[in-house]
Homo-oligomer: A and B are copies of this chain.
Amino acid sequence: MYEKQLLLIPGPTMVPPRVLRAMSAPSMGHRSKEFSAIIKDVADNLKKVFQTEQDVYILTSSGSGAMEAAVVNFINRDDKVLVLVNGKFGDRFVKINQRVGAEVIRVDYEAGTSANPEDVKNMLAKNPDIKAVFVQHNETSTAVVNNVKAIKQAMGDHEALLIVDSISGMAVADLPVDEIGADVVVAGSQKAFMLPPGLAFITVSEKAWKVNENCTSFNFYFDLRAAKKNYAQDTTPFTPATNLILGLKEALDIILEQGLESKFKQQLKFKKIIREAVKAMGLDVLVKDEQSASPGVTAVMVPENIAWKDINNIMLNEFNVLLAGGQDELKGKIFRIGHMGYVQETDLLTVIADLEMALYKLGYKLELGQGVKAAQEVILNLKGEM
């Protein structure tokens, strides 16, 4: 490996050397006082990033494990749930709920559009026995960000839990968990947290803990009661991925040094850089509505008569840039540029310049430099502050 690849997929994202160094410390006893102090430090900082006073538990798993935890600890067989589906990961919430034996009402949105809070209101009115509403904060597969706050508001006084997958949204777009009143929120290490994959995070409101008391479907490894009990002693029920947690400590320090507000603003700028640049190249974006476009990943339509496979081939093998294709029914139709985590503006100029050259080589009609120019104009605020 030459190891100079520009990794711009929507996770795993690039990891700062500071984090990699922290991860390469010698092994530690996971029940040692020294490690408990690290757990405590990390737990405190996770609360800051989640903007919550509740505990944020650390799971050693991919984000999908945390999604399962967000279902099995609260939903019983035959419970009715509403799942808003903006893409592959919304569909995953459906599948996990089906495994539990829940009765799933799903509302599907056209690829590239965000969830409509009105639908939640109507569905809850029609089905007052809905026990939980599931939604992605940021749907990675379609590069859509949902307005979680508006969804919660649309729920009004209904007692259903709001369960949010913010795996690729947390620390990318503002999600003040307590202020909004989201009940269960999950995040993952390999997105904006700038860590390798292997850790996931989950927080649970008091209301959700009450629901958990009557939950019988939970499994063993993802039993959050055990997580809660152990967290009170600054430890975890099972041996956690200690070295990833050492990296997490460093990554959280980096995030909080920058500050959440600055980070969210930066992410919006990244989004604008990419969107303006690809539009200047004559490309379409999947998400037309600015408010619905993710600040962490942008989905670009593959131009007519050009194959994503060929674009990817040039980007990867000639320019050493890894982008992501579309998934499932979007395969070949879109490609995705990740811009979350350890990314700076220069990286985005590079990817735009490379993309121009790749498309140029494939016979796509464009004037070289126009995309870069549009990106530069955003960086320099030539068209007004964000």
Question: Which single member of B24, B68, B242 contacts A221 (CB below 8 Å)?
Answer: B68
> Does A224 have its Cβ within 8 Å of any Cβ on chain B?
no
How far does the alpha carbon of A61 sit from the alpha carbon of B198 in the complex, in Å?
8
Residues of B within 8 A of A324 (CB): 29
**A:314-339 near B, CB below 8 Å:** 322, 324
Q: Contact: B9 with A29, CB < 8 Å?
A: yes
Task: For the A-B complex with A7-B29, A12-B239, A13-B27 known, give 10 more contacts whose Cβ atoms are closer than 8 Å.
Answer: A5-B28, A12-B242, A24-B24, A27-B190, A60-B65, A68-B220, A68-B221, A72-B219, A196-B243, A197-B239
Q: Contact: A28 with B11, CB < 8 Å?
A: no
How far does the alpha carbon of A14 sit from the alpha carbon of B26 in the complex, in Å?
7
Question: Which single member of B7, B21, B237, B239 contacts A27 (CB below 8 Å)?
Answer: B7
Given known A221-B61, A244-B241, contact A20–B12 (CB-CB < 8 A): no
Question: Which single member of B5, B15, B25 contacts A3 (CB below 8 Å)?
Answer: B25
Smallest Cβ-Cβ distance to A226: which chain B residue: B64
Mask: chain A, 78-110; 1 = CB below 8 Å from B; 0 = not: 000000000000000001100100000000000
Given known A12-B239, A220-B68, A241-B244, contact A322–B29 (CB-CB < 8 A): yes
Q: Contact: B12 with A30, CB < 8 Å?
A: yes
Question: Which single member of B21, B24, B28, B243 contacts A7 (CB below 8 Å)?
Answer: B28
Question: Which single member of B24, B34, B322 contacts A32 (CB below 8 Å)?
Answer: B322
Mask: chain A, 284-325; 1 = CB below 8 Å from B; 0 = not: 000000000000000000000000000000000000001010
Write the nearest CB–CB distance from A316 to chain B, whole angstroms. Answer: 8
How far does the alpha carbon of A99 sit from the alpha carbon of B218 in the complex, in Å?
8
How far does the alpha carbon of A243 sit from the alpha carbon of B242 in the complex, in Å?
13
A–B complex contacts, Cβ < 8 Å, 8 sampled: A3-B26, A5-B28, A9-B29, A12-B30, A14-B26, A15-B243, A196-B242, A241-B244
Residues of B within 8 A of A3 (CB): 25-26
Interface residues on A, range: 35 or more
Residues of B within 8 A of A15 (CB): 26-27, 243
Write the nearest CB–CB distance from A278 to chain B, whole angstroms. Answer: 21
How far does the alpha carbon of A197 sit from the alpha carbon of B30 in the complex, in Å?
9
Mask: chain A, 226-249; 1 = CB below 8 Å from B; 0 = not: 000000000001111111100000
> Does A63 have its Cβ within 8 Å of any Cβ on chain B?
yes
How far does the alpha carbon of A32 sit from the alpha carbon of B12 in the complex, in Å?
11
Residues of B within 8 A of A188 (CB): 239
How far does the alpha carbon of A322 sit from the alpha carbon of B28 in the complex, in Å?
9
Q: Contact: A64 with B221, CB < 8 Å?
A: yes
Smallest Cβ-Cβ distance to A66: which chain B residue: B221
> Does A54 have its Cβ within 8 Å of any Cβ on chain B?
no
Write the nearest CB–CB distance from A346 to chain B, whole angstroms. Answer: 17
How far does the alpha carbon of A28 sit from the alpha carbon of B2 in the complex, in Å?
12
